[in-house]
Amino acid sequence: MKKIVFFFFFIFFSYIYPLKAVEVSVRILSTKVITSFIFSPIEGNYTVYGDGVIISDSDVTGIFQMNIDGDSIQLKTFERTIGKYGSVKMIAKQNDCAFKIKSVQPESKVRSYEDNLMVTIAPDRKQFFLVNKVDVEKYIGGVVESESGKRSNLEYYKLQSILCRTYLLGNINRHLYEGFQVCDDVHCQAYLNRTLNKDVKKAVYETKGLVVVDNDLNLITAAFFSNCGGETCNSQDVWAVSTSYLKSVKDTFCLRQTHAHWRSEIPLNDWKSYLQLKHNYPIEDSLKFNDATSFEQSNGRAIYFTDKDLKIPLKTIRSDFQLKSTYFSIDQIGNTIVFNGKGYGHGVGLCQEGAMRMAELNFTYKQILNFYYKDVHLVDLLALNYFKQE
């Protein structure tokens, strides 16, 4: 299925890509239940459509408020109510248009985006669907900044651009049946704003069209996370799916970075009842009690917690106690259990803080890519088209 989806997109993408900008439909502010918001252009001018008919096409910058009124969108300016519609579109009249959105109900911070905004009401009639129809490369810029912050360097941003582009193409139909392609939450990729960062923009431009494929020319699962704590994970140990490229590597580059270490504590009694009730762990047995209160991963990452027969996955413990990673030791201090941990995130694929450090040490984005992903290749979508036709 994945191959078919990819193939469809790659045909679509490779024919249109050189001719004009390709757009992606992203549901923005997707984690909020919005019933009222304000739209205002920042750059350029917009044509406003209500149910497909032009309502406003002036070159004067307008500020609009939209509210849900029954099953309709009520469109207003500050002076007057314009009308009620099933759908409203704000279509950019030039190439470099940008707009601001401020959610009024519920109240939220102002966010800014580029290109077009499509507004409909969700089937439950309780919230807006706000979809930013935006040039793919502009979207990638917003994702790169949202996923990696503003303080990395150009080489790192190039790598992150390629990974975010690869991820997008592999997940392009994730929300197809909801009327958009991807959401702006971590469920797909975080996309919190347009980017104004010059290095991010340059990185996206200089890697335009580049994606990562495996030996069979299939897009890779471009997984990444914050910090591995010294060793990344095999994909089959975390997701039960084995790939040729998501293999564990030892990584010393992230060891002094922000998320290299963490510590968390819980009451001893909570730990005992958790093991006993959830996992039938024989905590009353004194040897087993010792095992449960002194656990180490001194020879690299383990997959299971201490008891070989019970096989309690460390990822279950991580999730149940909301720990930053599965790479932790356990000690008992009085009536407290202390988790001393390394790294932050699921551990599969690219370690962002390690990759950022490598970029600072002048490794190229290709070297960093090949350090974290095994036997992968960078290809231009156009070249991929050529190979696939052979």
**CA–CA dist 260, 253 (Å, integer):** 10
Closer residue to Zn ion, CB minimum distance, 97 or 144: 144
For residue 85 the two structure tokens come to: 């519609």
Of 159-167, 205-213, 248-256, 374-382, the segment contacting Zn ion by CB under 5 A is 248-256
Nearer of residues 201 and 324 to Zn ion, judged by Cβ: 324
Token couple for 354 = 């390690």
Closest CA to 346 of 225, 178, 218: 225
Can you tell me which of 228, 260, 337, 381 binds Zn ion, judged by CB under 5 A? Answer: 228
User: Quick one: which segment of 69-77, 227-235, 267-275, 357-365 binds Zn ion (CB under 5 A)?
Assistant: 227-235
- How far from the centroid of its chain's Cα atoms is residue 196's Cα? 19
Residues of span 165-194 touching Zn ion by CB under 5 A: 183, 187-188
Establish if 251 lies at the interface with Zn ion (CB under 5 A).
yes
Output b/e per residue, 246-285; b: 16+ Cβ within 10 A. Answer: bbbeebebbbebebbbbeeeeebeebbebbeeebebebee
Q: Which is nearer to Zn ion, 73 or 183 (CB)?
A: 183
**Of 73 and 254, CB closest to Zn ion:** 254
Q: Crossing angle for the helix pair 154-170 and 2-16, nearest 10 degrees?
A: 120
Is 125 a binding residue for Zn ion by CB under 5 A? The answer is no
User: Is residue 233 a contact residue for Zn ion (CB under 5 A)?
Assistant: no
Measured between its terminal Cα atoms, the distance across the chain in Å is 22
Instruction: Report residue 252 as tokens.
Output: 């010393």
Cis peptide before 282 (omega within 30 of 0): no
Q: Using CB under 5 A, which residues numbered 58 to 117 contact Zn ion? A: none
Minimal distance, residue 252 CB to Zn ion, in Å: 8
Neighbour-count burial for 201-211, b at 16+ CB within 10 Å, e otherwise: bebbeebebbb
Among 159, 222, 254, 384, indicate the residue that binds Zn ion (CB under 5 A).
254
Q: Rounded to an integer, what distance in angstroms lies between the CA atom of residue 318 and that of residue 258?
A: 20
Closer by beta carbon to Zn ion, 16 or else 33: 33
Using CB under 5 A as the binding rule, the residues of this chain from 338 to 357 that contact Zn ion are: 351, 354
Q: For the CB of residue 350, give the shortest distance to Zn ion in the complex, in Å.
A: 9
Which residue type sits at 141? G
Rounded-to-integer distance, Cα 208 and Cα 158, Å: 10
Nearer to Zn ion, 114 or 251 (CB): 251
For Zn ion, the closer of residues 117 and 254 by Cβ is 254
- Interface stretch with Zn ion, choices 41-49, 121-129, 142-150, 251-259 (CB under 5 A): 251-259
Give the binding-site size for Zn ion (rule: CB under 5 A).
8
Q: Please give the residue ranges that form the binding site for Zn ion (CB under 5 A).
A: 183, 187-188, 228, 251, 254, 351, 354
